[in-house]
């Protein structure tokens, strides 16, 4: 017999039994005490038949449909995991292959040069999983030297590197000063400039005035040669791809 016909008959039978159950309940409310015994037996019989038919429909049709939907969702997730590089990299992290995850994030960064998230993930892995702050710093330094970043991303790299130097090499004031001066020269009249001024003032208030005077001179067309030289000697090393394991960040040339 046609499966669709069986399903349709089952649905009609189930709906009919539901109606009988409803009618039996209504009739029971209007019965006398003598009639209620027969009414209860009939009501129980209707409920049992409804449960049997409903269970048949559920097991035969509804449960397989639900299983197919779950299977398709799992298959879709597996296919997505197989093609999404971010999921592959995070899968490496989940199994403890941190070096492999770093390599995958570097590939993602090459394929998406305007996305800072792979760089941020690499830095996080070096700090939290590999306990290698030197390579975390080198990763940020290499990113800072790239010219394709949006202002927000480039400034984020600078301030993140300043934070790492403060945390792991607090006595290395020269690198922090060079980075903050770089930020002031790159982004005048922005909140990044104001943030850099605030942090540089904590290190050397007099230096803030000197740098501000040089920037003002640059904007008026004076002192371009000196500012350009200082920009080149900002303490940011040449890119290293990838940075060697355990390498120490180079000291700035002041």
Domain shared by 76 and 91, yes or no:
no
Considering only residues 20 and 63, tell me which one the structure prediction assigns the higher pLDDT: 20
CA max distance for the chain: 112
What is the predicted pLDDT for the residue at 64?
63
Q: How much is the average pLDDT of 46-56?
A: 74
Whether 190 is covered by a domain: the verdict is yes
CA 170 to chain centroid: 30
Domain shared by 79 and 103, yes or no:
no
Q: How much is the average pLDDT of 221-246?
A: 46
pLDDT band at 2 (very low <50, low <70, confident <90, very high): low
Q: Tell me: the pLDDT tens digits for 204-228?
A: 888 898 888 888 888 776 544 444 4
Q: How much is the average pLDDT of 121-142?
A: 96
Domain shared by 126 and 186, yes or no:
no
User: What six digits make up the tokens of 222?
Assistant: 């004076």
C-alpha pair distances (Å), 28 with each of 32, 46, 48, 49 = 8, 13, 17, 18
What is the predicted pLDDT for the residue at 72?
54
Domain shared by 194 and 254, yes or no:
yes
What is the predicted pLDDT for the residue at 40?
73
Helices 205-219/224-232 angle, 10° precision: 120
Domain shared by 126 and 158, yes or no:
no
Q: What's the mean per-residue pLDDT of the chain? A: 78
Considering only residues 21 and 249, tell me which one the structure prediction assigns the higher pLDDT: 21
C-alpha pair distances (Å), 88 with each of 70, 78, 119, 169, 242 = 22, 11, 16, 33, 19
Domain count, the chain: 3
Domain shared by 40 and 104, yes or no:
no
Q: Tell me: the pLDDT tens digits for 150-198?
A: 999 999 999 999 999 999 999 999 999 999 999 999 998 899 999 999 9
What is the predicted pLDDT for the residue at 139?
97
Whether 141 is covered by a domain: the verdict is no
Whether 158 is covered by a domain: the verdict is yes
Share of the chain above pLDDT 90, in %: 43
Q: Indicate yes or no: pTM above 0.85.
A: no
Residue 202 belongs to domain spanning: 150-254
Q: How much is the average pLDDT of 6-11?
A: 68
Domain shared by 170 and 235, yes or no:
yes
């Amino acid at each position: 017999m046609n499966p669709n016909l069986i399903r349709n008959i089952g649905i009609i039978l189930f709906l009919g039994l539901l109606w009988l159950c409803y009618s039996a309940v209504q009739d029971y409310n209007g019965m006398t005490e003598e009639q209620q015994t027969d009414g209860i037996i009939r009501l129980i019989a209707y409920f049992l038949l409804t449960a049997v038919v409903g269970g048949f429909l559920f097991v035969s049709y509804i449960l397989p449909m639900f299983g197919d939907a779950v299977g398709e969702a799992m298959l879709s997730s597996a296919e997505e995991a197989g093609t999404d590089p971010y999921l592959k990299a995070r899968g490496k992290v989940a199994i403890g292959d941190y070096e492999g995850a770093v390599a995958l994030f570097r590939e993602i960064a090459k394929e998406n040069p305007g996305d800072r998230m792979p760089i941020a993930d690499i830095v996080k892995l070096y700090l939290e999983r590999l306990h290698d702050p030197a390579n975390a710093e080198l990763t940020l330094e290499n990113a800072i030297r790239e010219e394709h970043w949006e202002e927000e991303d480039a400034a984020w790299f600078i301030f993140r590197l300043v934070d790492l130097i403060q945390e792991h090499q607090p006595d290395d004031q020269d690198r922090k000063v060079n980075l903050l001066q770089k930020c002031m020269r790159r982004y005048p009249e922005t909140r990044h400039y104001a943030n850099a001024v605030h942090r540089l003032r904590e290190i050397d208030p007099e230096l803030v005035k000197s740098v501000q005077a040089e920037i003002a001179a640059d904007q008026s067309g004076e002192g371009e040669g000196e500012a350009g030289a200082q920009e080149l000697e900002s303490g940011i090393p040449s890119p290293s791809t990838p940075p060697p394991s355990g390498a120490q960040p180079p000291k700035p040339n002041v």
